[in-house]
Amino acid sequence: MAAIMENSLPTEGQGAKIILGEPVQKGYFYGYEGIVLHEEGGEQAILVLENPFWGRVLFINGTAQFTSRDEFIYHEALIHIPIQAFPEGRVKRVLICGGGDFGAAREALKYPEVEEVLIADIDPRVPEVVKRFFPELLPSNLEDPRLKLLTVDAFKLVRELVDQGQKFDLVVIDSTDPDISTSDFTLELSHSLFSEEFHRLLKALAPQGAIVQQAATPFTMKNILEGSFKIFRKVYPAEEVFCYRASIPSFGGDNAYLLRFPGDPTCPQKSQVPETKYYTHAVHRASFALPKFWLTEVLKGEG
């Protein structure tokens, strides 16, 4: 006869074991089971979870930012598509707004032609958490003299750079998603980076450069792409506004990227590709092929 009662689960190591549900849509959650490795509050609540499938997951304000299993897809699409769209030697100065996790910088520094990568992240804790728990996101040489990390509000920094008359070849907005709120309350520190005012500053900072912004997953967060696209079309010439995508498993589907590019970015111009796990020239071209419903429901046929 089988026993009715059971012993408690054994302690598996440091950290509390939890089941975490991340709300995505009405009645729809992403579920994670794992060990909490790190947790702290502040303006941004940070949590690192160890999951048996995804590896380590970084949550900011309750939303998964990336996993150690598939972050390379997000970061490679974010960086290699705009850089590869330029001819050899064209991209020398790169500004990353947000990006304190170093993933975007890691990819940009793979190009010898890049002379400077400046990260402007408002939260000094994110780089330290990544150094401790996500070393795979770090550049091959964290002491690379081309890399500079500033703990600063990217909006304020960009305004200062414009006032100084500085110019960049590539600006990357690698931030958390903006707040979508029916009240005046905003939680995310990235909110201003999706504004018209910010993009007008970027237009002055990179008059002949590329500007790329992650725009969430339209299937479940349509309004983020829709709102961002309207800002791009309002600030930049229509013929310089493009949208591309990358399928990121932990995000639940295709992530959208908006790109301001002075020319045609759909075909790579460089002959060589640095070491990657996702990006190829074939993937580059395919990334600009958008689902019809993106065009009709969100981009109004103008993608």
Residue 7, domain member (yes or no): no
Residue 40, domain member (yes or no): yes
Judge residue 147's burial from the number of C-beta atoms within 10 Å of its C-beta, 0-12 exposed, 13-18 middle, 19 or more buried. Answer: buried
Residue 2, domain member (yes or no): no
CB-based contacts of 284, cutoff 8 Å, min separation 6: 80, 81, 84, 85, 266, 267, 268
Residue 302: predicted pLDDT:
47
CA distances from 181 to 61, 86, 191, 251 (A): 15, 37, 11, 21
Domain boundary among 37, 67, 97: 67
Domain boundary among 67, 82, 100: 67
The H or E element spanning position 36 is strand 28-40
Residue 35, domain member (yes or no): yes
Residue count of the chain, please give it: 303
Statement to judge: residues 236 and 264 lie in one domain:
yes
Residue 108: predicted pLDDT:
98
Statement to judge: residues 27 and 59 lie in one domain:
yes
Does residue 55 contact residue 70 with C-beta atoms inside 8 Å?
no
Residue 11, domain member (yes or no): no
Statement to judge: residues 157 and 251 lie in one domain:
yes
Statement to judge: residues 119 and 143 lie in one domain:
yes
Residue 245, domain member (yes or no): yes
Statement to judge: residues 167 and 201 lie in one domain:
yes
Residue written as token pair 């990819």: 107
Residue 184: predicted pLDDT:
54
Question: What total of structural domains would you count in the chain?
Answer: 2
Statement to judge: residues 102 and 203 lie in one domain:
yes
Residue 205: predicted pLDDT:
98
Q: Residue 181 belongs to a domain with what CATH number?
A: 3.40.50.150
Sign of CA dihedral 257, 174, 265, 72: negative
Two tokens at 220? 């479940």
Q: Tell me the three state secondary structure of residue 145.
A: coil
Statement to judge: residues 114 and 231 lie in one domain:
yes
Q: Is 263 left (phi over 0), alpha (psi -120 to 50) or beta?
A: left
Each residue's pLDDT expressed in tens, for the chain with a length of 303 residues: 778 998 887 777 778 888 989 888 899 889 999 999 999 998 889 999 999 999 999 999 989 999 999 999 999 999 999 999 999 999 999 999 999 999 999 999 999 999 999 999 999 999 999 999 999 999 999 999 999 999 999 999 999 999 999 999 999 999 877 755 455 544 444 567 889 999 999 999 999 999 999 999 999 999 999 999 999 999 999 999 999 999 999 999 999 999 999 999 999 999 999 999 999 999 999 999 999 999 999 998 444
Domain boundary among 38, 67, 96: 67
Two tokens at 2? 């089988």
Residue 179: predicted pLDDT:
52
Please give the Cα distance from 154 to 119 (Å, whole number).
9
Residue 10, domain member (yes or no): no
Does residue 77 contact residue 246 with C-beta atoms inside 8 Å?
yes
Statement to judge: residues 199 and 287 lie in one domain:
yes
Q: How many CA atoms lie within 13 A of 48 on its CB side?
A: 18
Q: Residue 39 belongs to a domain with what CATH number?
A: 2.30.140.10
Residue 186: predicted pLDDT:
47
Q: Which amino acid is at 235?
A: V
Residue 185: predicted pLDDT:
46
The residue segments making up the domain with residue 291 are 71-297
Statement to judge: residues 118 and 133 lie in one domain:
yes
pTM of the model: 0.92
Question: Which residues participate in catalysis according to the annotation?
Answer: 174
Residue 190: predicted pLDDT:
52
Statement to judge: residues 102 and 185 lie in one domain:
yes
Residue 177, domain member (yes or no): yes
Statement to judge: residues 138 and 49 lie in one domain:
no
Statement to judge: residues 35 and 108 lie in one domain:
no
